[in-house]
Structure formats: structure tokens, C-alpha cells
Structure 1
């Protein structure tokens, strides 16, 4: 339901979903990443049930396709912006080397971070999470 109303401009329900389901524990965050990775074709294994969502992400997929997908979703008008930012934040927390493994996506991420942080469309949470991502990237490059 949160994704449907977010596409129609109601970001409050998505924020509630992120606060109560995803951020409630690591299992929710991992399930979100695993689902999204499977949905975009990151995993090389066909899933016959939703049981894979509960597995540790490291066992299922590496992350470069998911990173690229999430970076392309860093636009102010994207209906799932807060979910994309949260997913990117979690992905880089569990796979901090990803921006360095793909130069093109890493450069796109840096450009999008600057553009997004200048945007007035960000929620407080998204802005905070993007600032953390930018800081983590700067530390990794130092």
C-alpha cells in the first residue's frame, strides 16, 4: 500500500512503512534488499518461493546491479525516493566497497548525492541518510 500511495504523491505512508517495518530490525532491512535484488535480476538463482527474503543477503547476491538501480532512482520526483535512499543506505552499510567496484556507478552516485542534497524535495530522514552516505564515501576515498 505504501508504494501505491507514494507513487501518487503521498510520502507519509512510505515514511511510516520505513519507520515501522524496515527500520524496526535488521531482518526487515535485509528482506527489503533481497526482494529488490531479486526483482531487478541481481540474483542468479530462480526463487520458487518468498523464503529467500529471510536469508542473509550475502548468500544471494553481490550488489552492483542493485546499486546501479538505486542510484538511477535518486531523483526528486521518484515516487519511491525515500525507500530508494533507505535501501541505498543499508546496501552501502553491508557492502561499503560497492561504489569503488563500479567506477561508472560510483561516479554517478557522487553526482547524484550532490544534486539530491541541493534538492528541497528530500525528507529529513533521506537528507540525513544521504549525508551519511556522502561522508562514508569520503572516508573510503581518504
Structure 2
């Protein structure tokens, strides 16, 4: 009943003359936690309805689309998320939004934001170690957001290159897990390319694996 009501809430939020994007996004995000997976059909329908949207840069619809595709991944369908990663990060504003969104969610950004405008703005002075640790801990081929986690690590290390040197234990764990995932068939070609770049960067920085991560 709860998830059925979320469906109604999402539809009402999207159908208004002035759509409530934040309410729609939150409803779709929560729907991804439906253990019966009955939310999958209407989330997929929402994704199809938004496929015509082309992101040339960040817009308020960007985090809404992200919530829908991550919910679908949580429901067992990773393809919309992979498509989003491939086509909805066309410029630096979207890449910054991806990192700021995640950093805020894990508590890396300590101050409260009243709206989404902080996402595409120039990166604030947050360090990145909290987000880095969070992502490395979730670098598991069976994680529903594995492709998103790989992309975010790749993007984070591009702007915070010193993170692996400042967090050597996490850097070694990242190398071990990256190599293991590259040996699997659980990620998409884009993720494989980004993960290979991460491994190359780690080795170039002198990071060696522990050999203990399994």
C-alpha cells in the first residue's frame, strides 16, 4: 500500500501545471526500495516518458532523472542508469552535480542546502575523503549502483587527485577491488574503461594492492 501511494504521489507531482520536481524525485527514490519490485513498471514508464529530454548541461530535471534510473537499478534493471551515465554528463556542470549530489548525501558537505542550485556550482572546499571512503566500500560487482559508484570514483579522482595518497589504505583497497571487478562481467563497457583508467592512475602513483581483498 505504501509503494502504491508513492506511485500516486509521483504522478500527481509530475502532472501539476508547475510540477513539483523535488517531490517527484523523492517519491521515485523511495520507490526503488520496494521489496516486491512492483514499482519497476511505473518507474520504467517514467523513464521512457523522459527519454526525449536531452541534457546539454545541468537542469532541475537532471537530479530527478538520476533518482528514477537509480531506483530502477535498485529494482534490478541497470540499463537506464548506464544510459544516464553515458548521455547525461555532457559538461563539467553535470559532472560537478554528480559529485556534489553524492557528497551532500554522504555528509561530506556539512551545511544544509535549501535547493538544488548548489549541485552544478563550482566545487566547494569539501575534501572528498568521506565520499571516497563511501564509494570504495561500495565497490562491489553485485551492488545495484556499481556503474554509478565507478563513475563517481573516476570523476572524484579527476578533481581530487591527492585522495589516494592521503588515504593509502583506501587506495590499496580500491586497487584490489578494481582488479577483481575488471575480471568480472558485471559492469558496462564505460565502467570498464573508467575502472581501467583508475587502476592505471593508482599504479602511476605507486599504489600497490594488499592482495587480501576477495
Place the TM-score, normalised by the shorter chain, in its bin: over 0.9
CA-based RMSD: 1.4
Matched positions, count: 140
Match of 2:15 in 1: none
TM-score (norm 2): 0.62
Match of 1:73 in 2: 138
Matched, 1:124 2:192: no
Match of 1:15 in 2: 82
Match of 1:108 in 2: 173
Match for residue 27 of structure 1 among 93, 107, 127: 93
Do the aligned partners of residues 60 and 30 (structure 1) sit closer, same or farther apart at CA in structure 2, a change above 3 Å counting?
same
Q: Equivalents in 2 of 1:6, 1:44: separation in Å?
A: 28
TM-score (norm 1): 0.92
Q: Equivalents in 2 of 1:110, 1:38: separation in Å?
A: 25
Choose 1 or 2 for highest CA Rg.
2
CA shift, 1:138, in A, is 1.2
After TM superposition, the structure 1 stretch with the greater mean CA deviation from structure 2, 108-117 or 81-90, is 108-117
Match of 1:36 in 2: 102
Match of 1:51 in 2: 117
5+ long unaligned stretches in structure 2: 1-67, 208-214
5+ long unaligned stretches in structure 1: none
Contact conserved, 1:34 with 1:60, CA < 8 A, in 2? Answer: no
Greater share of residues in helix: 1
Deviation by residue 1:38-59 (Cα, 9 ceiling, x = unmatched):
00000122222222112212x2
Segments ≥4 residues shifted beyond 3 Å: none
Contact conserved, 1:5 with 1:11, CA < 8 A, in 2? Answer: yes
